């Protein structure tokens, strides 16, 4: 009947026609322009044909349809808002054409039906779902909302609060949940899926039930309780304060749920166009592409890497125990060594604590946890180290101690064993000078806490071989982490850029800004916590050491040149949470966690290092003064080849220090602002020193119109 590159029509018995999605040359089905055009053509053919009793919609792939083509979406967002609304409305009209066919329609959901794939099924009269399949509307993760009728159809199909929650969470929903909510009509075992669906479709055309339920979907619905929208707005302000999509979606549903379908769809297309043009959408779509790049690189590391069968952790304690747990839970057995039994016990207990959390949450059974625990071998000797493929050193952050330990362990390892040092700041070049095989040595910077933080910096020293770096990067991927390979320099990548941001904070405080106001502004801007609170969490002693080490590494450009707040706090023993007093005071809550409260004497203490005393600063000035040094340092890292691409730098900042996702990263944010605007802002702060001095490449970009990310 119809044979396309993505859509096929086949006549079945009983007057049933099957519309099958089977994208040629692709592993999955996507709703790209080709597929939508072929779908329109097929549906128009069906509408004109006589004698059809029902339409069965299926997929020849293991999944149903995984959503839109994000490459096409990125191109679409370059259009004007009016053109986006027109194009989107035309695509949505294809689903309306499906919804208006003069016979019943049923979608077989055999695997993932996500985004536009799930929206397509909502335009059908019936949905039959495999018990292993999942449906979902993940658009919010891209700074968007369902724009092919999903925001109109789902609230008319489900309970309103449930529909809003599904869209706002972006989570995949399992078959049982979808059935209970009313999103699908039948859930069966995958082996019975097709025959069940055919039987239901053959039965449905003999009655008028499908016409009645279709008519109900096309009509305005009851608004329900207004409190539902108030609750949804409150949740959106907490979860996505800087992402307009959710707020627009809630307003849209409240406006359209009492309107007829076609009017509602026109309003949806206009709202979708406005949302697609937002910074959040541009940035979050870019993040998706960046994540795909990192996944491809991880696969390349795996192909290059050496053997990964058994690992060692040198130095137990909290960090070593976290590394051992993270390795063993992902299937790589670990030998964990320390020189003292108490430290070894601490490491084992940390690993068991993490396993216990997995059991409590239901992610592991007690039996599985016990089996993983047995994959961690504690030892006080080097007896098994000649059998290891990788050894991660995690002893105290002291150059001489680490050099001594690394030289010692190297003598007990096989020649092809890769050694890695878990260091946050020490020179990999200097550490490698103690080794006989520096080509087998790599930095491996885990972020704390190890089981939670997704980023691992893989630091290449001057002699590090490609295979050694790939082996450690592949090991990090196996542990469920995202590796970013970087070049050795003071602070490496993330801490170097973060230090510029913290120095901007310290300069603001010196110039008279209220640290509480800075924390408020930056948290409202999207950071998980303000810079003052962050220093309390890190520990003022640690923070002061890191600031001094990294700033000294780059000379006058980063050297503060004044006594700063962290330095003063550290000198007074106000180390933050660990001592109960820093910028803030801390008390223990009923769950044993530190609770932040205001400290009465902090403002008085800071006035002693504020030459002009307290001064007012606007929110805009605080944001600019905080973010410009971060952008500039990220640009310097790209210029110097500290990381290979803007994508890797931006993802490292998002994963390592919680840079707000809606910004897309420092360099993506720079593209959004525009380099001429950044230079203009920098010129306004030129008297503040090197932190605000743009690079030569930034000036060239402003003149040429070049961007960090190609459109």
List active site positions: 445
Planar angle of CA 19, 23, 26, nearest 5 degrees:
155
For residue 422, give the nearest of 326, 305, 330 by alpha carbon: 326
Do 175 and 134 form a contact (C-beta atoms < 8 A)?
Answer: yes
**SS3 category, 56:** strand
Token code pair at residue 299: 């696969």
The kind and range of the H/E element at 81 are: helix 81-99
Token code pair at residue 73: 């979406």
Token code pair at residue 594: 């530190």
Do 126 and 183 form a contact (C-beta atoms < 8 A)?
Answer: no
List C-alpha distances in Å: 364 to 372, 449, 453.
10, 20, 20
Cα–Cα distance, 233 to 247 (Å, whole number): 7
Cα–Cα distance, 146 to 163 (Å, whole number): 12
Token code pair at residue 123: 């335009």
Token code pair at residue 47: 């509408």
Do 517 and 622 form a contact (C-beta atoms < 8 A)?
Answer: yes
- Which single residue is written with the structure tokens 């959710």? 246
Cα–Cα distance, 661 to 571 (Å, whole number): 35
- DSSP string covering 462-531: TT--HHHHHHHHHHHHHTT-EEEEEE--TTTTHHHHHHHHHHHHHHHHHTT--HHHHHHHHHHTT-SS-H
| Cα–chain center distance at 426 | 28
């Amino acid at each position: 009947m119809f044979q396309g590159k993505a859509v096929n029509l086949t006549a079945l018995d009983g007057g049933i026609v099957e519309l099958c999605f089977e994208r040629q040359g692709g592993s999955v089905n996507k709703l790209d322009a080709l597929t939508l055009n072929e779908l329109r053509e097929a549906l128009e053919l069906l509408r004109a044909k006589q004698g059809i009793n029902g339409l069965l919609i299926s997929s020849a792939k293991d999944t149903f349809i995984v959503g839109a083509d994000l490459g096409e979406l990125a191109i679409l967002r370059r259009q004007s808002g009016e053109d986006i609304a027109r194009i989107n409305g035309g695509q949505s009209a294809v689903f309306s054409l499906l919804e208006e066919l003069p016979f019943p329609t049923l979608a077989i959901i055999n695997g993932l039906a996500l985004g536009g794939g799930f929206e397509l099924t909502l335009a059908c009269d019936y949905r039959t779902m495999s018990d292993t399949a999942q449906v979902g509307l993940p658009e919010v993760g891209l700074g968007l909302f369902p724009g092919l009728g999903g925001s109109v159809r789902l609230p008319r199909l489900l309970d309103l609060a449930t529909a809003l929650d599904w869209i706002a969470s972006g989570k995949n929903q399992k078959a049982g949940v979808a059935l209970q909510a009313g999103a699908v009509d039948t859930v069966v075992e995958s082996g019975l899926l097709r025959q069940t669906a055919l039987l239901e479709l053959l039965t449905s055309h003999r009655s008028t039930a499908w016409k009645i339920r279709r008519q109900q979907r096309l009509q305005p619905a009851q608004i329900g309780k207004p409190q539902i929208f108030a609750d949804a707005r409150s949740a959106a302000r907490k979860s996505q304060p800087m992402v307009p999509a959710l707020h627009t979606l809630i307003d849209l549903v409240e406006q359209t749920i009492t309107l007829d379908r076609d009017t509602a769809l026109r309003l949806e297309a206009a709202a979708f166009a406005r949302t697609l043009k937002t910074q959040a959408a541009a940035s979050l779509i870019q993040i998706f592409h960046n994540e795909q790049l990192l996944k491809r690189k991880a696969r390349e590391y795996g192909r290059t890497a050496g053997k990964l069968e058994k690992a060692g952790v040198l130095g137990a304690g909290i960090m070593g125990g976290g590394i051992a747990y993270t390795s063993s839970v992902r299937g790589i057995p670990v030998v964990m060594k320390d020189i003292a039994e108490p430290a070894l016990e601490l490491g084992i207990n940390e690993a068991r604590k993490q396993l216990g959390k997995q059991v409590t949450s239901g992610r592991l059974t007690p039996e599985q946890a016990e089996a993983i625990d047995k994959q961690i071998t504690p030892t006080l000797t080097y007896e098994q180290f000649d059998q290891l493929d990788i050894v991660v050193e995690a002893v105290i952050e002291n150059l001489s101690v680490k050099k001594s330990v690394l030289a010692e362990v190297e003598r007990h390892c096989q020649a092809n064993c890769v050694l890695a040092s878990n260091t946050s700041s020490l020179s990999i070049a200097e550490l490698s000078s103690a080794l006989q095989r520096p080509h087998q040595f790599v930095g491996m910077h885990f972020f704390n806490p190890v089981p939670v933080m997704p980023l691992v910096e893989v630091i290449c020293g001057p002699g590090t071989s490609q295979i050694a770096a790939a082996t450690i990067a592949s090991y990090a991927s196996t542990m469920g982490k995202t590796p970013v390979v970087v070049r050795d320099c003071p602070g490496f990548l993330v801490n170097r850029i973060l230090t510029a941001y913290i120095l901007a904070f310290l300069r603001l405080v010196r110039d008279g800004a209220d640290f509480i106001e800075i924390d408020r502004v930056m948290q409202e801007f999207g950071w998980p916590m303000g810079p003052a609170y962050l220093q309390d969490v890190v520990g003022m002693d640690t923070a002061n050491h890191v600031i001094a080490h990294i700033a000294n590494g780059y000379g006058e450009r980063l050297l503060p040149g004044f006594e700063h707040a962290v330095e003063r706090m550290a000198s007074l023993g106000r180390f933050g949470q660990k001592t109960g007093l820093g910028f803030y005071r801390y008390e223990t809550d009923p769950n044993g966690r530190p609770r932040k409260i205001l400290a009465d004497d902090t403002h008085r203490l800071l006035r002693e290092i504020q030459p002009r005393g307290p001064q007012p600063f606007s929110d805009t000035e605080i944001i600019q003064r905080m973010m410009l040094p971060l952008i500039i340092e990220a640009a310097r890292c790209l210029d110097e080849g500290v990381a290979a691409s803007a994508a890797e730098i931006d993802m490292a900042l998002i994963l390592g220090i919680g840079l707000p996702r809606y910004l897309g990263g420092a360099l993506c944010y720079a593209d959004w602002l525009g380099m001429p605007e950044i230079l203009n802002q920098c010129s306004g702060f030129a008297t503040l020193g090197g932190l605000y001095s743009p690079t030569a490449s930034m000036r060239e970009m402003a003149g040429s119109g070049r961007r960090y990310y190609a459109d």
